[in-house]
Amino acid sequence: MIKANEKNKIVEQFKAYLKAHNMRCTPTRLRILDFCTIINPPILFKDLAERAKKERICTQTIYDTINLLVDADIIQRITLQGKIKEAYSLTTDTRNKAKIICTRCGRVAEFKDLTITDRLLSHRYNNFNMAYYTITVYGHCKVCRKLLGETIKDGWSDDHRK
């Protein structure tokens, strides 16, 4: 779930993208975007399909709209258990933040690390002007590591993000 003002920004971003590409802003396309903002991350294709089915939106329309949303930089494909293309997360809320995704259960967490930002800004990148960055870190969360029988050392608890 995201805040109302963030959602409005995303809707406007999508409308602008459709207009720029001479595509119609249909209620169905907006509805699928709506699903993406309602579903707790990760946004799984099957969850989108389930919601869409109830509203008689066909699978092809979901595929097409997802591709548009990825292209418009509103959602990004994420990898879960080595499978790409089936899971997504909103990109806008992770700008200049790093996202941690558990590839086993799909749990998503975020952290902001100013040293990463400083480091990126200190580079020149061939005169490229950085507008923002996104970082996605994949691995296993604490709960999954316990289930997998791994030993958890304290000191790298959820508090490390503060």
Q: At its nearest, how many Å lie between Zn ion and the CB of residue 100?
A: 10
Q: How many residues interact with Zn ion (rule CB under 5 A)?
A: 6
Residue 10 contacts residue 33 (beta carbons within 8 Å): yes
Asked if residue 102 binds Zn ion (CB under 5 A), the reply is yes
Q: At its nearest, how many Å lie between Zn ion and the CB of residue 139?
A: 9
Contacts of 129 (CB under 8 A, 6+ apart): none
Q: Print the binding letters for residues 134-153 with Zn ion: x by CB under 5 A, - otherwise.
A: -------x--x---------
CA distance 95 to 97: 5
Asked if residue 105 binds Zn ion (CB under 5 A), the reply is yes
Residue 102 contacts residue 119 (beta carbons within 8 Å): no
Interface positions with Zn ion (CB under 5 A): 102, 104-105, 107, 141, 144
